Amino acid sequence: MNKISVIVANKKFNSDKKNISAVARRVFLLLKKDGYRVDFYLVDDDFIKKLNRVYRGKNKTTNVLSFCEPKDFISAPSKLKYLGEIYINPDFIVKNNQDNKLMVVHGVLHLFGYDHEYLKERLKMEKKESDLLRMI
């Protein structure tokens, strides 16, 4: 059993909450990952821009950011392994004609170690995203 939390930072994103949760549950099922906990935050342009600037050095808004729990982070004992946090910006996604499902898949894959900094990594991640999206 996994625990997927979706925290809405602005009431206008309430309608996205159930969909994000359902897609995330499906992704974990398809990846055959069990015993995990992840927190999704639905945030606006200003909030994600600040995160992007502080943690990635990029002073611009974006669609999704993932933050893995640090390896040496001390947390309360739990039966579930805490993976981290995924911040999704629904406004950016709508404005740029993107897909919420892809952003959920993308964020979760980052928490499981996928990356797209180099071509080989990017191709592997994009293939996994594509495979998962076909099955959702």
Domains: count for the chain: 1
Sequence-distant (≥ 6) Cβ neighbours of residue 105 within 8 angstroms? 23, 27, 129, 132, 133, 136
Q: What percent of the chain has pLDDT over 90?
A: 87
What is the per-residue pLDDT for 5? 96
What is the per-residue pLDDT for 70? 66
Domain that holds residue 58: 3-135
What are 28-87's pLDDT values in tens digits? Answer: 999 999 999 999 999 999 999 999 999 999 999 999 999 997 677 666 667 888 899 999
Asked which of 1-10, 70-79, 113-122 is least confident by mean pLDDT, the reply is 70-79
CA–CA distances in Å: residue 125 to residues 20, 29, 43, 81: 20, 18, 24, 22
Q: Residue 101, CB half-sphere, CA atoms under 13 Å: how many?
A: 12
What value does the mean pLDDT take over residues 6-35?
95
What is the per-residue pLDDT for 75? 67
CATH at residue 94 = 3.40.390.30
The CA distance from 83 to 108, in Å, is 9
What is the per-residue pLDDT for 80? 87
The CA distance from 39 to 83, in Å, is 8
Q: Cβ(61)–Cβ(48) under 8 Å?
A: yes
Name residue 12's amino acid: K
